[in-house]
């Protein structure tokens, strides 16, 4: 089994794709001609977007994301957290936590996207060496 993609339910798929391309430098893989579904490259796993209207037509009832009360987060790993944080904010992300060094050796920061999804921008986790 492989983890293929995560789908975020958004108001406007092309706008969400454009935001993530500008804010995080992700590459567009696909935008359906109906503009209600699209995917971005993020390595082995894709970050996908579906319009809330489409998912409602499929019998689901999506709720709006809330950065201050998230049910999950997306984590994007980078080498330079402060620079990536600044780029995301300049592209329209809402700052949630400025970059900071954590006691476990990782640098973390948080922003939210225009649809309210919480995004962690972080350095690689420092795995302790096996003694």
Local structure of 67: helix, strand or coil: coil
- Any idea how long the chain is? 131
Output the pLDDT for position 129.
62
Output the pLDDT for position 128.
65
Total domains in the fold of the chain: 2
Residue where a domain stops, chosen among 30, 63, 96: 63
Assess whether 34 and 94 both reside in one domain.
no
Q: What is the pTM of this model?
A: 0.92
Assess whether 55 and 4 both reside in one domain.
yes
Which tokens belong to 105?
A: 């050796």
Please state whether beta strands 74-77 and 118-122 pair in parallel, antiparallel, or not at all (unpaired).
Answer: parallel
Output the pLDDT for position 126.
76
Per-residue pLDDT of the chain in tens (131 residues, 90 and over written 9): 999 999 999 999 999 999 999 999 999 999 999 999 999 999 999 999 999 999 999 999 999 999 999 999 999 999 999 999 999 999 999 999 999 999 999 999 999 999 999 999 999 987 766 55
The CATH number of residue 39's host domain is: 3.10.180.10
**Which domain, by its residues, includes 107?**
65-131
Among residues 91, 72, 71, the alpha carbon closest in space to that of 83 is found at 91
Assess whether 12 and 58 both reside in one domain.
yes
């Amino acid at each position: 089994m492989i983890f293929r993609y995560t789908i975020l339910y958004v108001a406007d798929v092309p706008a969400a794709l454009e935001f993530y391309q500008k804010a995080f430098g992700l590459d567009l893989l696909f935008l359906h001609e109906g503009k209600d579904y699209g995917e971005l490259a993020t390595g082995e796993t894709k970050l996908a977007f579906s319009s809330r209207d489409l998912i409602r037509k499929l019998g689901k009832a999506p709720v709006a994301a809330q950065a201050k009360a998230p049910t999950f987060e997306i984590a994007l790993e980078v080498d330079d957290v402060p620079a990536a944080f600044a780029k995301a904010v300049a592209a329209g992300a809402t700052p949630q936590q400025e970059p900071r060094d954590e006691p476990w050796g990782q640098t973390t920061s948080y922003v939210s996207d225009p649809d309210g999804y919480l995004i962690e921008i972080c350095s690689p986790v420092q795995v302790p060496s096996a003694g």
